[in-house]
A and B are shown apart, each in its own frame.
Chain A
Amino acid sequence: MLFTMSRVTAQAPAAAPQTPPRAAWTVGSQGPLPEHAKFTREQAESGAALFVQNCAFCHGKDAMGGETGPDLTRSKLVTADKNGEGIGAVVRNGRLDKGMPRFSLSDADILNLVAFIHTQQDNALSQSGNRRGVEESDLHTGNAEAGKKYFETTGGCVKCHAATGDLAGIASKYSGLKLEMQMLYPRDVKPKATVKTKSGQTITGIVEYEDEFTLGVRDSVGIYRSWLRSSITAKVDRPLDAHVDAMSKYSDDDVHNVLAYIQTLK
């Protein structure tokens, strides 16, 4: 097994007051451990068994990432969770937009899962030295000057973005892998639609749902509205298509250079 249950009550590393506090958006191998409720060894062990059955294929047996699912020991949500209030909601409701299904588990089972996940995070964060997975320092291989040039010329990024405009301070908001993923494909940016109904009404809004037959938008006052596509004409603006297009053109050096440039936009 990859995980060892013997370290359930992981000890925090000796306090190092000179260590700067961990940034709010991520967790790393320095700094104090996140605070959470105390769990028993039995809870974590039951949670480990449930985790293997239900979660491990995507998130890895050790919760450090598997097929398609993220490393939970680096999860902001896990770090912020105290006693299952955050993790439990995700388990119950799923994250359907990201491919995570809902799980119908009892409250006790969910708490056991929470105990296991927190234990694994404590274990991971207690590791000294070179930790598995992606650290921010792993991503400092690009050349910011070359990245700036790519951003302004070859990449065509300036058609939509400005370093002193929409991207000002972006590297203070995100960092590390999160910043790189945002740069390549900011998945929280949704398409915008202009819908004309048969009665002649025009509605603009954010696309919340679309398939071949139905279109759903949230309008300017926050109301969700949907139509059969056959009953409307719709124009959908998809700003992210340019990001998909860019991914077919980037070399890996381009990616690292542009990232190095974006990292300067603090």
Chain B
Amino acid sequence: MALAAVAVTTVGLHAQNVDSTMLKNPPKDSWPGYHGDYSGRRNSALTEINTTNVSKLTLGWAFQTQQNGQIKATPILVDGILYFTLPDNVWAIDARNGHQLWHYAAPPTKAFHIGQRGVSILKDKLYYMTSDAHLQALDAKTGKVLWDVEVADSKKGQWATMSPLIVGNHVLVGASGDFDNLQGFLRSVDPETGKTQWTFFSTPTVDTPRVAYSGNMWMTGTYDPELNLIYFGTGNPSPVLNGKVRPGDNLYTCTILALDPETGKLVWHFQPSPHDTHDWDAVEIPVLADGLFDGKPRKMLMQASRNGYFFVIDRATGKNLLTTTFGPVNWSKGVDKDGRPIPNPDKEPAPDGRLIAPDESGMTNYRSPSFDPKTGLFIVSASPSYSLYFNKPADGAYGWAGADYGLWSKGVLEAIDYKTGKIRWSHELGDRGGSGVLTTAGGLTFSGDSKGNFLALDTANGKTLWHAGAGGGIASSPISYELDGHQYVLMSGGNVLFAWRLPETPVAKAAPAAAKK
């Protein structure tokens, strides 16, 4: 057994060639990108672990990073090797036993270190965003840096956390940074050389008066190979809480963009938060699924947005199919004819404060939701919440430009029926949760609560079927894969990765020859 395991883990012997074909249709023994496949559904086809046996789930291994901070990365899996990150750190570990193959400690930088969401892979190279917004190509075998290009100037206030999206011959990267008035962008980089192929800017340049800046693209987008469109959400405008100096809708901030991956040309856009004044980035995962809507087959894009609205959009045209809320929302005057919420000017931050739902962290945030095609449920970690928002002339028109204070929030997993927008079940999580969601064809929903309990729920009704204490905050989104014929579920708690599986089935003894007669 041991020898066999060593043989198959050896890099190169049965190497999976990570190219466009593989990324479009990842084998079940891989998870080669942030979302697994390009759809952002985070729905695994695996069924070995299912509603009948998940209560027996047991620990396969745990990997201690020995570092400060919570793991916010989604590990990727290729050739039996998991690659994942913390800020300034990248690891390659054996997916069968958690054994470390290499560790790359990047030179520390002075930028914000709020999280790192993982590396991406194409052929033999990993792509890693440093905290100070450089893109590095690493040799996947050794972790050695092959090249390093600056994506944004961190001295001006941008930083990076994202896992790049790789489409064809393009490494797609953006940066974060709304503490300063900077221009948000998505950049396409050549995977071999690091050269810029194209850049899409969310806003005009920062010397343009009376417009919004920022609209940063800091989350991994999704891709439809048939339509050949990439989908990215853009961040909130800046100045953040002062909307008076930037009248109008503030395109393309808080917007879902459909872009041509070859040229970066905009094909359509839909704006979840016109003229945002509450820091509600619309970067949450644009989840792609095909199915019936109003009885017609549709190619859909769904987003549970930070501003508290859930949207279903025709992803070929950008036409809105459904807009609804998934928790308390009090900042809009309803929805316009195109399905966009209409911001209520009376709910813009004011000198004496405005009571706003949801709060600044939003009804949901960067952790992945999941779409389960079997039940038609879009499952999202939601945070009903209230807060106070202030803005006065002394706050100025640069960066944050105001103040806001959270009053109350809680965490709840909401299972939204995409056809109606109705919530079919809710699973209370206590305080605001930090975990993303994974669904599986085994009928299971994996996530975590705010106190560090890993959860496996029955996707049909939200009932808990299994749990285990992680001993640390869960701040990433689970993944699942198959190795050597067995399914694993990978989750992080604190700075530790946990691999769960079913117990080894005792090897059946060969029946005595006599018994066969």
Report yes or no: B70 in contact with A185, Cβ–Cβ below 8 A.
no
B406, closest chain A residue (CB): A68
Report yes or no: A138 in contact with B390, Cβ–Cβ below 8 A.
yes
B432, closest chain A residue (CB): A99
- In the complex, 12 of the A-B residue pairs with CB atoms within 8 angstroms, ordered by the A residue number, are A56-B179, A65-B400, A67-B279, A133-B403, A134-B403, A138-B353, A141-B352, A180-B388, A247-B357, A252-B350, A252-B353, A255-B353
Instruction: Using A68-B361, A187-B408 as known contacts, say yes or no to A52 and B403 having CB atoms under 8 A apart.
Output: no
Report yes or no: B179 in contact with A130, Cβ–Cβ below 8 A.
no
For chain B, residues 316 to 365, give those with C-beta under 8 angstroms from any C-beta of chain A.
Answer: 328, 330, 346, 350-355, 357, 360-361
Q: Which residues of A contact B388 (CB under 8 A)?
A: 177, 180-181, 184
Q: How many inter-chain residue pairs (CB < 8 Å) link A and B?
A: 115
> What distance in Å separates the Cβ of A230 from its nearest Cβ neighbour in chain B?
12
Report yes or no: B179 in contact with A60, Cβ–Cβ below 8 A.
yes
Report yes or no: A104 in contact with B68, Cβ–Cβ below 8 A.
yes
Complex: A134 Cα to B354 Cα, angstroms? 12
For chain B, residues 373 to 425, give those with C-beta under 8 angstroms from any C-beta of chain A.
Answer: 386, 388, 390, 392-396, 398-400, 403, 405-408
Report yes or no: A180 in contact with B360, Cβ–Cβ below 8 A.
no
The stretch of B24-32, B111-119, B186-194 that contacts the partner chain: B111-119
Partner of A247 from B279, B386, B455, B467 at Cβ < 8 Å: B386
Report yes or no: B430 in contact with A212, Cβ–Cβ below 8 A.
yes
> What distance in Å separates the Cβ of A142 from its nearest Cβ neighbour in chain B?
8
Q: B461-499 toward A: CB 8 Å interface, digit per residue (1/0)?
A: 000100100000100000000000000000000000000
Q: How large is the interface on B (under 10, 10 to 19, 20 to 34, 35 or more residues)?
A: 35 or more
| 13 extra interface residue pairs, beta carbon distance < 8 Å, beyond A66-B179, A99-B432, A177-B388 | A49-B110, A53-B111, A139-B353, A180-B353, A181-B405, A211-B450, A212-B449, A212-B467, A213-B453, A213-B467, A244-B408, A248-B357, A255-B353
Q: A4-21 toward B: CB 8 Å interface, digit per residue (1/0)?
A: 000000000000000000
Report yes or no: B403 in contact with A71, Cβ–Cβ below 8 A.
yes
Q: Which residues of A contact B330 (CB under 8 A)?
A: 248
Partner of A66 from B395, B400, B406, B467 at Cβ < 8 Å: B400
Residue B451 lies at the interface, judged by CB distance under 8 Å to chain A? yes
Partner of B355 from A61, A68, A244, A255 at Cβ < 8 Å: A255
Complex: A56 Cα to B464 Cα, angstroms? 38
Complex: A252 Cα to B390 Cα, angstroms? 12
A248, closest chain B residue (CB): B328
Partner of B352 from A65, A66, A70, A139 at Cβ < 8 Å: A139
Instruction: Using A247-B408, A252-B354 as known contacts, say yes or no to A67 and B399 having CB atoms under 8 A apart.
Output: no
Q: A162-191 toward B: CB 8 Å interface, digit per residue (1/0)?
A: 000000000000000100110011010000
> What distance in Å separates the Cβ of B107 from its nearest Cβ neighbour in chain A?
13
Complex: A243 Cα to B68 Cα, angstroms? 37
Report yes or no: A184 in contact with B407, Cβ–Cβ below 8 A.
yes
Q: Which residues of A contact B405 (CB under 8 A)?
A: 70, 177, 181
For chain A, residues 52 to 105, give those with C-beta under 8 angstroms from any C-beta of chain B.
Answer: 52-54, 56-57, 60-61, 65-68, 70-71, 99, 101, 103-104
Report yes or no: A212 in contact with B453, Cβ–Cβ below 8 A.
yes
Report yes or no: B346 in contact with A185, Cβ–Cβ below 8 A.
no
List residues of B whose CB falls within 8 A of some A CB. Answer: 68-70, 110-114, 157, 179, 279, 328, 330, 346, 350-355, 357, 360-361, 386, 388, 390, 392-396, 398-400, 403, 405-408, 428, 430, 432, 449-451, 453, 455, 464, 467, 473
Complex: A151 Cα to B403 Cα, angstroms? 27
Partner of A60 from B354, B393, B400 at Cβ < 8 Å: B400
Residue A107 lies at the interface, judged by CB distance under 8 Å to chain B? no
The 6 A-B pairs with the shortest beta carbon distances in the complex, nearest first, are A130-B394, A211-B451, A141-B352, A185-B407, A247-B386, A57-B114
> What distance in Å separates the Cβ of B247 from its nearest Cβ neighbour in chain A?
22
> What distance in Å separates the Cβ of A34 from its nearest Cβ neighbour in chain B?
21
Report yes or no: B113 in contact with A132, Cβ–Cβ below 8 A.
no
Partner of A53 from B110, B361, B400, B408 at Cβ < 8 Å: B110
> What distance in Å separates the Cβ of A110 from its nearest Cβ neighbour in chain B?
14
Q: A225-266 toward B: CB 8 Å interface, digit per residue (1/0)?
A: 000000000000000100110011010100110000000000
Report yes or no: B179 in contact with A247, Cβ–Cβ below 8 A.
no
Q: Which residues of A contact B400 (CB under 8 A)?
A: 60, 65-66
Q: Which residues of A contact B392 (CB under 8 A)?
A: 130, 138
Report yes or no: B403 in contact with A184, Cβ–Cβ below 8 A.
no
Report yes or no: B112 in contact with A56, Cβ–Cβ below 8 A.
yes
> What distance in Å separates the Cβ of B13 from its nearest Cβ neighbour in chain A?
40
Q: Which residues of B contact A256 (CB under 8 A)?
A: 352-353
Q: Which residues of B contact A130 (CB under 8 A)?
A: 392-394
Q: Which residues of B contact A181 (CB under 8 A)?
A: 388, 405, 407
Residue A210 lies at the interface, judged by CB distance under 8 Å to chain B? yes
Report yes or no: B430 in contact with A211, Cβ–Cβ below 8 A.
yes
> What distance in Å separates the Cβ of A256 from its nearest Cβ neighbour in chain B?
6
Residue A149 lies at the interface, judged by CB distance under 8 Å to chain B? no
Report yes or no: B399 in contact with A185, Cβ–Cβ below 8 A.
no
Report yes or no: B449 in contact with A52, Cβ–Cβ below 8 A.
no
Q: Which residues of B contact A250 (CB under 8 A)?
A: 355
Report yes or no: B110 in contact with A247, Cβ–Cβ below 8 A.
no
Q: Which residues of B contact A49 (CB under 8 A)?
A: 110
Complex: A130 Cα to B407 Cα, angstroms? 25
A142, closest chain B residue (CB): B352
B451, closest chain A residue (CB): A211
Report yes or no: A243 in contact with B408, Cβ–Cβ below 8 A.
yes
> What distance in Å separates the Cβ of B159 from its nearest Cβ neighbour in chain A?
9
Instruction: Using A184-B355, A213-B467, A250-B355 as known contacts, say yes or no to A61 and B396 having CB atoms under 8 A apart.
Output: no
> What distance in Å separates the Cβ of A226 from its nearest Cβ neighbour in chain B?
12
Report yes or no: B352 in contact with A247, Cβ–Cβ below 8 A.
no
Q: Which residues of A contact B328 (CB under 8 A)?
A: 248
Complex: A198 Cα to B286 Cα, angstroms? 49
> What distance in Å separates the Cβ of A73 from its nearest Cβ neighbour in chain B?
11
Complex: A180 Cα to B390 Cα, angstroms? 13
Complex: A213 Cα to B450 Cα, angstroms? 12
Instruction: Using A53-B112, A139-B352, A212-B467 as known contacts, say yes or no to A185 and B179 having CB atoms under 8 A apart.
Output: no
Report yes or no: A57 in contact with B407, Cβ–Cβ below 8 A.
no
Residue A131 lies at the interface, judged by CB distance under 8 Å to chain B? yes
Q: Which residues of B contact A160 (CB under 8 A)?
A: none
Instruction: Using A132-B394, A211-B453 as known contacts, say yes or no to A101 and B70 having CB atoms under 8 A apart.
Output: yes
Complex: A164 Cα to B394 Cα, angstroms? 38
Complex: A50 Cα to B428 Cα, angstroms? 37
For chain A, residues 122 to 170, give those with C-beta under 8 angstroms from any C-beta of chain B.
Answer: 129-134, 138-139, 141
Q: Which residues of A contact B450 (CB under 8 A)?
A: 211
For chain A, residues 194 to 241, give those with C-beta under 8 angstroms from any C-beta of chain B.
Answer: 209-213, 240
Residue A24 lies at the interface, judged by CB distance under 8 Å to chain B? no
> What distance in Å separates the Cβ of B210 from its nearest Cβ neighbour in chain A?
22
> What distance in Å separates the Cβ of B405 from its nearest Cβ neighbour in chain A?
6
B115, closest chain A residue (CB): A57
> What distance in Å separates the Cβ of B410 from its nearest Cβ neighbour in chain A?
8
Q: Which residues of B contact A103 (CB under 8 A)?
A: 68
Complex: A180 Cα to B330 Cα, angstroms? 19
Q: Which residues of B contact A187 (CB under 8 A)?
A: 408
